């Protein structure tokens, strides 16, 4: 069975919608590159 972790990150509301989505993608890429899975955004 895989370990399950819960992580919360907060993005500053100053970012535009596009920059916010790019930031989420960067975190998702880091997680999946290390064998993780992002279940919810």
Q: What are phi and psi of 21, to 5 degrees?
A: -65, -40
- Whether 29 is in a domain gets the answer yes
Cα 40 from Cα 30, distance rounded (Å): 15
Q: Which domain holds residue 21?
A: 1-36
- Whether 17 is in a domain gets the answer yes
- Whether 41 is in a domain gets the answer no
Written as one string, the DSSP assignment of the chain is ------------TTS-HHHHHHHHHHHHHHHHHTT------
Mean pLDDT by groups of 10 residues along the chain of 41 residues? 82 90 92 87 68
What predicted TM-score, i.e. pTM, was given to this entire model? 0.69
If one counts the domains in the chain, the total is 1
């Amino acid at each position: 069975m895989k370990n399950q972790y819960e992580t919360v990150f907060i993005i500053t509301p100053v970012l535009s919608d596009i920059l916010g989505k790019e930031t989420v993608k960067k975190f998702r890429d880091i997680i999946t590159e290390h064998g993780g899975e992002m279940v919810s955004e």
